[in-house]
Amino acid sequence: MDKLHAMTVFARVAELSSFTQAAISLGLPKGSISMAVQNLEAHLGTRLLQRTTRKVVLTHDGQLFYQRCKDLLTDVDELESMFLLDEKGIQGRIRVDVPLAVAREVLMPHLPAFLQQHPGIKIELSSTDRRVDLVAEGFDCVLRVGSLGDSGLAARQIGIHPIVNCASPAYLQRHDIPLSLDDLERHFMVHYAQVLGSEEAYWEYVQGNDTKRMKMQSIITVNNSDAYTQACLAGLGIIQVPQAAAKAHIRDGRLVELLPEYRAAPMPVSMLYPNRRHQPRRVRVFMDWLANRLQDYLA
């Protein structure tokens, strides 16, 4: 049994929760994928994956083995590429998750140039407002906006997102321009919630060293950032949004900035990655490139 091959197959099945998808991803027959995992389980003397009719999930032993397996495969990648000085020799897959706006405004416009410079790299891009589980879902790095909490992951701060308050001209024509917090009593927010129905809408602002919240009316709730901005453009309410995501709309007159003295606190922008001894060179190169592109976006 080729142990490295078996571990590579197992890791991909664990990441995709599917033998079929792993076979497609690796370009191998599904039968060979299943056989490699079975041989690995027999060699280790434990079940690594629990198979059901709908999906494949890691067992407790499988979760432990997956973490050590990923570290080992990372070390192997590093060994194989340590003498490759030519950047075009960097090869491998990078799985990354970024917010929708960053995928649209930063990654997609510039990614062709990056891949032309590094033709051996393949990108698996997730762009969602859901906070993915970096370790369990096999991501090499994720971009997070906002507080990080204690995740146990390594973090690299890229910058900060200033927040602006915006509404469309059509909305302000119907409801007037709010000039104070008291004026907001007759206004509506576009409510953003990852879980619909989870909480009420509110206006957030900084006062001294404290962050304050004021309850607001809302006629629409959305659960992703694109719908949040589009609802505002449609005149359905006020939003509090990162400045970088709103600046083009403000410049073109599609949105109007409101109450600049009552902004929410700026949001940190950070890159998270597994806290391993070594990172594959391809991941380091990609993270450095993305950090540089984000500096322009956040400026």
User: pLDDT by residue (tens digit) across 129-141?
Assistant: 777 777 777 788 8
List Cα–Cα distances, 151 to 15, 54, 131, 143, 157, in angstroms. Answer: 19, 29, 12, 14, 15
88 belongs to a structural domain: yes
Distance CA 143, CA 114 (A): 18
Percent of the chain with pLDDT over 70: 93
Question: 100 and 131: one domain?
Answer: yes
Distant-in-sequence, close-in-space partners of 159: CB < 8 Å, separation ≥ 6: 268, 269, 294, 295, 298
Question: 79 and 90: one domain?
Answer: no
- Tokens standing for 241? 């949004």
Q: Name the pLDDT band for 199 (thresholds 50, 70, 90).
A: confident
Task: Say what the pLDDT of residue 28 is.
Answer: 87
Domain with 20 in it: what CATH number? 1.10.10.10
Question: 2 and 60: one domain?
Answer: yes
297 belongs to a structural domain: yes
Please give the backbone phi and psi of residue 148, each rounded to the nearest 5 degrees, phi first: -95, -30
Q: Could you say which of 32, 54, 83 is where a domain stops?
A: 83
157 belongs to a structural domain: no
Instruction: Write down the mean pLDDT value for the chain.
Output: 86
Task: Say what the pLDDT of residue 179 is.
Answer: 94
Question: 240 and 176: one domain?
Answer: yes
Question: 69 and 30: one domain?
Answer: yes
- The pLDDT tens digits of the residues spanning 85-104 come to 555 667 788 889 998 888 98
* Contact between 199 and 206 (Cβ < 8 Å): no
* Contact between 203 and 216 (Cβ < 8 Å): yes
Task: Say what the pLDDT of residue 298 is.
Answer: 81
Q: Name the pLDDT band for 116 (thresholds 50, 70, 90).
A: very high
Distance CA 271, CA 289 (A): 12
If you write DSSP's letter for every residue of 198-226 in order, what string do you get? SS--EEEEEETTEEEEEE-EEEEEESSHH
Question: 135 and 71: one domain?
Answer: no
Domain of residue 244, residue span: 163-265
75 belongs to a structural domain: yes
Q: Could you say which of 57, 83, 109 is where a domain stops?
A: 83
Question: 199 and 211: one domain?
Answer: yes
187 belongs to a structural domain: yes
* pLDDT (average), residues 174-199: 89
What is the tally of structural domains in the chain? 3
158 belongs to a structural domain: no
Match 């806290």 to its residue by tokens.
275
- Tokens standing for 60? 């407790």
Question: 110 and 97: one domain?
Answer: yes
Domain with 102 in it: what CATH number? 3.40.190.10
Residue 249 clears pLDDT 90, i.e. is over it: yes
Question: 279 and 145: one domain?
Answer: yes
Match 């450095």 to its residue by tokens.
288
Q: Name the pLDDT band for 82 (thresholds 50, 70, 90).
A: low
- Cα dihedral sign, 173-178-183-189: positive
Question: 114 and 66: one domain?
Answer: no
Q: Could you say which of 67, 83, 99 is where a domain stops?
A: 83
Q: Calculate helix-pair angle for 60-81, 3-16, nearest 10 degrees.
A: 120
Residue 241 clears pLDDT 90, i.e. is over it: yes
Question: 281 and 134: one domain?
Answer: yes
Task: Say what the pLDDT of residue 92 is.
Answer: 80
**Which one, of 91, 103, 75, lies nearest residue 274 by Cα?**
75
Distance CA 83, CA 81 (A): 6
Question: 175 and 250: one domain?
Answer: yes
Task: Say what the pLDDT of residue 177 is.
Answer: 94
